Structure 1
Amino acid sequence: MNLPVTQRHFLSFSRKLFLSVISLFLVFVVCFIAYQYQREREYKVELLNTKLQDYNSRLYERLDEQPLDNGIINDYINNHILEDLRVTLIDLDGNVVYDSYPNHDEQMENHLNRPEVQKALKHGNGYDVRRTSETTGVPYFYSATRYKDYILRSALPYNVSLINNLQADPHYLWFTVIVTLLLMIIFYKFTNKLGTSISQLREFAMRADRNEPIEMAMQSAFPHNELGEISQHIIQIYKRLHETKEALYIEREKLITHLQISHEGLGVFTKDKKEILVNNLFTQYSNLISDSNLETTEEVFAISELKEIIHFINKNQQQRSRGKDEKRMSITINKNGRTFIVECIIFQDASFEISINDVTQEEEQVNLKRQLTQNIAHELKTPVSSIQGYLETIVNNENIPREKINVFLERCYAQSNRLSRLLRDISVLTRMDEAANMIDMERVDISVLVGNIINEVSLELDEKHITVVNSLKKSIQVKGNYSLIYSIFRNLMDNAIAYAGTNIQININCFREDESFYYFSFADTGVGVSPEHLNRLFERFYRVDKGRSRKLGGTGLGLAIVKNAVIIHGGIISAKNNQGGGLEFVFTLAKEK
């Protein structure tokens, strides 16, 4: 079983580093102390040996001046006293000639095998440390020197005094211990700072691994050293990568959303023809082109109508190694009464995109635009012809009475007003079609707006004996364009005044409200329209009664403007006949757009 990281590591990295380095350092210190102690002790031994060698040399000089005599040796020893010093003369055969020990008269064994004697015979001098004398049973420090005819050996008892003399100086031990402790403290502080940096970096790595936010406090917690600076740079790099990742994720979501709501079928595939991303329209259009329903997206490559696209993809993959740059191909497919444009784009990594556009509706829209242009020309022709005819009559007939001229001019003025309204309505529709996203939005109080419209048309209402019942509550507010919302209620009001008849009632009401929409009803108790006309009321230039509409000065665009304005404000509109008579428009407006 894998334990968590916090449970596996009993000691932090800094503690391990501190303990491992200090352990090596302490081993070094112990070795150094042992070596220095031994060296110091050897130095003391050499110093004592030198001193005894010097004593041997001076004794030899004295003996060399006169014949060998035990009395002379005793006098010299007594005059140059070293406490408990023992002097021995040994001939070159190892026989003891003289020994200052009190029992020296006793027969002593041969000393040729003594270490200091052997060293003296071989090197000229030698010493032996702490060897027990076979004669006295006391341990001595021996120092022997070879001369021409004999070996002169001096010895000091290896007692407490000599032991203390030969011991190493303890001061360097205390110095070494103090320096070691100071270095341990300094190294502990250093490793502690290093451990802090590593712990902070470790915490950052764990946060990054869990995709948690990096707090500003963590960035300032790093020590001011090289590792802290490196950690800061790592965090900055991570933050930039995280921001880039977030930006890429947002762009990816935008792309996916765009693909899903796109008006064309889009499919992105790997070089092995595996699906990466496909929207619903691509699947729908593929099924319309195919003779059988596709169970998987990859089956699109088996559609016979797309064989040119498939051949293009395969050919491009074969030519990539030869540096070919052909990356795009488009074909047109007519199937089941529809026209599709299929386009393939190949990317640098050999993945590719296939888009399918249903252009059937676009062709219909071209026809509708052609018909709309004809309608506009026809609508413009009528008032222009009327104005031109009246003016020609006035210009070509000098004897027309003034009263008749005034009648013609009034008719010209009425037709020019109609022409102006027509051009204005066409301009409004064009602006809504081409620049709906550029319309300025503000908070609009519909209750106040409808009240103002009722006041503006009060004279016309009185002329036709029309009563308006405004049931809108106060402070119904939406975010929208004031002019377009005004045109919704004004055109509905003008339409009712113009066509509903006299002695009627207009009811304006907001009958429902939810989190997203207001639901409005604009109804009259007038003549209504035949059911076959209801679905076409919002078409441009459509008239229920063409002759009567033109006589009343209508442009045939008012309800089209209403529908487009409602759509721009996130709503829908429909028309129906009331059961008690009259026409009712039901529409919604979004609260926030």
Structure 2
Amino acid sequence: MASWSKLSYPRRLFLWLLGYSLLLVGCFVGFQYHREKEFKAGELNAQLQLLNRHILDDIADGEDVAGVSLSQPHPFEELRVSIIDSDGRVVYDNSHDSIPYANHLSREEIATALRHGSGYTVRRHSESTGNTYFYSATLGEDGYIVRTAVPYSLSLSELLKADFGFLWMMGGVTLVMCVLGYFATRRLGLTILRLNRFAERAERGERIYDNAPFPKDELGAISNHIVRLYANLQTAIADRDREHKAALHEQREKERIKKRLTNNINHELKTPVASIQVCVETLLSHPNLSEEKRDEFLHRCLANTERLKSLLRDVSLITRMDDAPASISKENLDLTDIIGEVVEDSDPVAARRGISIVNNVIHPIPITGNQSLLESVFRNLIDNAIAYSGGNEITINPATSCKDGKIVITFADNGCGVASEHLPHLFERFYRVDKGRSRVAGGTGLGLSIVKNAILLHGGSVTVRNLPYGGLEFTITLPCSG
């Protein structure tokens, strides 16, 4: 075993291939030898079967069994003829002065003839004569079995031997296979040795460059791919380490931002309050302002009051969903009616912005939920699309009917969509794609967060994606009671 392991891999591979080839050729030669012997035995049996059939014909024509004679010419110098009745007793045998008394039904050729009409045994020792014979037996219609036998002599043994000419041919083929196998395994083994050295270097973490191509064959192509992949992996790892440092810095920055997240609500509240304060102080300190300026400050106060009211409502709503979801009452509703009412309320605002709302949800959708929360879902989606999509159409479609206890509704616009890096963060609280634009539009940064939390509270899910032709598509899944 130790000496085997000392052999190089190409040599071990060649010896394995050589052993496999010799085993394959040996099996084929053995099979062919056995098959040819059976073929020649079958030919000899066919000749004896003709003699048996001739004797059975003579018996059928009325010739006495004890006085049967073999007048049919045959090529055998010595031929033994036996006739056995259906009980296995020998009634005639030309090789004995007296009839053998042993029951012959157990003889292989006799048993085969009884089952199939004919049978033979290539080489069997005769208990009565002490010689070895080739037996051939044939069953007649009257129940008699005629058995002829020829001595298994040297000449018969030579006759039944297979022709060994094909063995020389197979030997030559084996020699050619070994020569070709040597060169093939040597080439294959050298490639594998190079791969092994590459693996050892890779295990040590050495820097590997793709500058030594392998042979131009399938294994060489695979090897080249592996080396290139590893070289690319090393490059990717180096890039990853650099990106990891950058990501670590970014993560620390995010943690810093998260610490300030609790201050965002306070900040969002301070902005409209400060604006209202400035307006009121200006009005109080300048009682002689013109009517036009006074109305401007009052309208600014009203706008900030509405923004403050909206912010407080959204904060209150999302806090209630977070802190006391069990306290939110639910009742049997028709989601189609809820969507229809929200669309009807939003149509005038959308029309002023040149946006049409296409509501294709027309069939009843029974659902158990909170009406105000479900209204806030679609109102926030519509308000968001009107304010930020930049499109001119909003479409609400039922993606599936209310089957298997679920309903899927899609909400889409044909606007500009958002950059892909923003998609995972759209449902985060106070997340704004364009902060300046959102503040000008009066957004609180909580609309889509309310949408997601309200859907989750109803046991559903919501996802968002950019449409190929432009715009955003929200897919809402809710449990329905129909």
TM range (shorter): 0.3 to 0.5
TM-score by length of 1: 0.37
TM-score by length of 2: 0.45
Structure number with greater CO (CA < 8 Å, separation at least 6) is: 2
